[in-house]
C-alpha cells in the first residue's frame, strides 16, 4: 500500500481531529462564484440565481467493498471518489460546482497517507473546476470510508431525468464499455502473482487502457456542452456505474417503456476484446454487467439522429419500444434475450 511507502509517518492522533481537518483542507481554494463560504463555519454557504436548479447526489465508498488499497494507490482513490459523484451530476445534464468530503479512518492510516488521499481529491477538484466546501474527518475502528456529496447547477429547461424516454427514441451511449471491470481483473491477477512471487515484474503494456479506466476514471463533463452545441436535448439520461443492463432497466422502468439493445452495436475498445479472449470472458457480458464505466447512457428523439450520427463520442446501441415488448438484447445471431440487471458483484460470484 502506498501509505506504507512513506519513510517518516505522522500518526493522526498527533494532529487531533481539528488539526487534521485544518491540515488536510488548508490548500483548498474557492473558485466557483456560487460559493459564498467554504470550509470553516457550521455550514458552507452557496448563492444560486433563480434561473438555476440545484442537483445533489451522494456516494459512500467502503474499503474492502468498493476499493482495495492493495492495488489502488490512495491518491487515485481520492480522485476516483470525486469522479464517481460528479458522474451522477453530469447524468442530470448539470454542471458540477461543489462537493463535501467526509472520511472515517482507522489508526492504520498515517497523516501522510491522508495527505495523498486529499491530494487526489484536490487534483479532481481542480480538473473538474469544483470547490471542496466542507466535510468531516473522524476515526473508524477498521478501514477507510469516504462519503462525498456533490452539488451541481442546471437551468430548469436543460435538466434531464431518467423518466423521459419514449417509444421510438434512440438509445445512445458515450465512449466504450467494459474496460474498468477488466482493469480490475488484471489488477487482481497481478496482486495474486505478486503474493506468490514478490519479485515478479508485471508487463502491463497490453492493459494500459483497462487499468487507467479502473484506477483513474474520468466523468463525462464534456457531454452536456457537446449535446447543447449539437442542439440535442436527451429525453432521458443516467450514468453507467453498475453496468449497461442495469442502467437500461432503470431508464425503462422509470420511463415506463421497453427497449431493444443490439449486441453488435455495443462499443468495445480493442483491449477489451483481446483481454476478454485472454481471460475467456464474454465481452458482451462484461459490457452489460461490468460497471464502473462512468459513461453516460441517454435516449434521444429519433429526429435528432442526424445531429449525432457522425460524432465519435456517441454510439446508437438500440431503440425504445412499447413497455409491452419488454427489455431485450438482440444478439449477433439475431435471437432476442430478456435483459437482466446483474451488478459486478453478481458477476464475481458467478465467475
Q: Which of 21, 24, 55, 111 binds a second copy (CB under 8 A)?
A: 55
The set of cell numbers assigned to 87 is 458522474
Q: Which range of residues in 1-9, 74-82, 139-147, 225-233 is near a second copy by CB under 8 A? A: 139-147
| Cα torsion 103, 107, 112, 117: sign | negative
48 binds a second copy (CB under 8 A): yes
List binders of a second copy among 293-332 (CB under 8 A).
none
Question: Toward a second copy, which CB reaches closer, 254 or 274?
Answer: 254
Q: Which of 184, 180, 203 is nearest to 87 (CA)?
A: 180
The set of cell numbers assigned to 309 is 450520427
Residue 172 to residue 266: CA distance in whole angstroms: 10
Q: Which of 7, 33, 41, 310 binds a second copy (CB under 8 A)?
A: 41
79 binds a second copy (CB under 8 A): no
17 binds a second copy (CB under 8 A): yes
Q: Which of 31, 32, 34, 33 is nearest to 47 (CA)?
A: 34
| Chain mean position to CA 265 | 22
Least spacing, CB of residue 325 vs a second copy, in Å: 23
The set of cell numbers assigned to 161 is 431525468
91 binds a second copy (CB under 8 A): yes
Q: Which of 8, 50, 306, 334 binds a second copy (CB under 8 A)?
A: 50
Residue 274 to residue 277: CA distance in whole angstroms: 5
142 binds a second copy (CB under 8 A): yes
If DSSP codes are grouped into helix, strand and coil, which group holds residue 330?
Answer: strand
Q: Which of 74, 104, 114, 317 binds a second copy (CB under 8 A)?
A: 104
The set of cell numbers assigned to 225 is 456542452
Least spacing, CB of residue 169 vs a second copy, in Å: 17
Question: Toward a second copy, which CB reaches closer, 139 or 331?
Answer: 139
Q: Which of 21, 77, 89, 257 binds a second copy (CB under 8 A)?
A: 89
Question: Toward a second copy, which CB reaches closer, 238 or 266?
Answer: 238
140 binds a second copy (CB under 8 A): yes
Q: Which of 66, 108, 166, 323 binds a second copy (CB under 8 A)?
A: 66
348 binds a second copy (CB under 8 A): no
Residue 60 to residue 78: CA distance in whole angstroms: 12
- Quick check: 209 and 318 in contact, CB under 8 A? no
Helix (H) or strand (E) holding 22: helix 12-25
* DSSP symbols for 215-228: HS----THHHHHHH
- The CA–CA distances, whole Å, from 202 to 197, 241, 269, 270, 286 equal 11, 28, 22, 21, 24
Least spacing, CB of residue 268 vs a second copy, in Å: 24
60 binds a second copy (CB under 8 A): yes
Residues that bind a second copy (CB under 8 A): 17-18, 36-37, 40-50, 53-66, 88-89, 91-92, 94, 98, 100, 102-104, 133-136, 138-143, 145, 147, 149-152, 156, 159, 161-163, 237-239, 254, 341, 343
Amino acid at each position: 500500500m502506498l501509505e506504507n511507502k512513506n519513510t517518516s509517518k505522522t500518526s493522526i492522533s498527533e494532529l487531533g481531529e481539528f488539526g487534521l481537518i485544518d491540515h488536510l483542507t488548508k490548500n483548498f481554494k474557492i473558485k466557483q462564484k456560487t460559493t459564498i463560504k467554504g470550509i470553516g463555519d457550521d455550514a458552507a454557504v452557496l448563492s444560486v440565481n433563480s434561473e438555476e436548479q440545484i442537483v445533489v447526489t451522494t456516494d459512500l465508498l467502503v474499503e474492502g467493498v468498493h476499493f482495495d488499497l492493495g492495488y489502488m494507490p490512495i491518491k487515485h482513490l481520492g480522485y476516483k471518489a470525486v469522479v464517481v459523484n460528479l458522474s451522477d451530476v453530469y447524468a442530470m445534464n448539470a454542471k458540477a460546482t461543489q462537493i463535501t468530503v467526509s472520511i472515517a479512518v482507522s489508526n492504520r492510516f498515517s497523516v501522510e497517507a491522508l495527505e495523498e488521499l486529499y491530494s487526489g481529491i484536490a487534483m479532481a477538484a481542480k480538473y473538474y473546476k469544483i470547490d471542496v466546501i466542507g466535510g468531516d474527518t473522524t476515526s473508524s475502528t477498521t478501514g477507510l470510508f469516504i462519503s462525498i456529496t456533490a452539488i451541481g447547477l442546471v437551468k430548469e429547461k436543460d435538466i434531464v431525468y431518467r423518466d423521459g424516454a419514449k417509444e421510438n427514441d434512440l438509445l445512445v451511449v458515450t465512449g466504450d464499455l467494459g474496460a474498468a471491470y477488466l482493469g480490475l481483473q488484471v489488477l487482481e491477477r497481478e496482486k495474486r502473482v505478486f503474493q506468490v512471487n514478490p519479485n515478479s515484474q508485471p508487463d502491463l503494456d497490453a492493459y494500459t487502457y483497462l487499468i487507467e479506466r479502473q484506477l483513474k476514471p474520468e466523468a463525462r463533463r464534456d457531454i452536456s456542452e457537446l449535446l447543447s452545441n449539437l442542439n440535442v436535448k436527451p429525453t432521458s439520461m443516467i450514468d453507467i456505474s453498475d453496468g449497461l443492463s442495469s442502467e437500461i432497466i432503470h431508464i425503462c422502468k422509470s420511463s415506463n417503456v421497453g427497449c431493444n439493445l443490439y449486441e453488435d452495436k455495443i462499443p468495445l475498445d480493442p483491449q477489451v476484446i483481446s483481454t476478454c479472449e485472454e481471460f475467456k470472458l464474454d465481452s458482451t457480458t462484461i459490457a452489460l454487467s461490468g460497471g464502473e464505466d462512468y459513461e453516460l447512457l441517454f435516449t434521444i428523439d429519433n429526429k435528432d439522429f442526424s445531429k449525432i450520427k457522425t460524432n465519435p463520442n456517441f454510439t446508437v446501441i438500440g431503440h425504445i419500444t412499447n413497455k409491452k415488448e419488454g427489455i431485450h438484447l438482440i444478439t449477433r445471431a439475431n435471437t432476442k434475450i430478456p435483459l437482466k440487471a446483474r451488478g459486478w458483484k453478481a458477476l464475481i460470484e458467478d465467475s
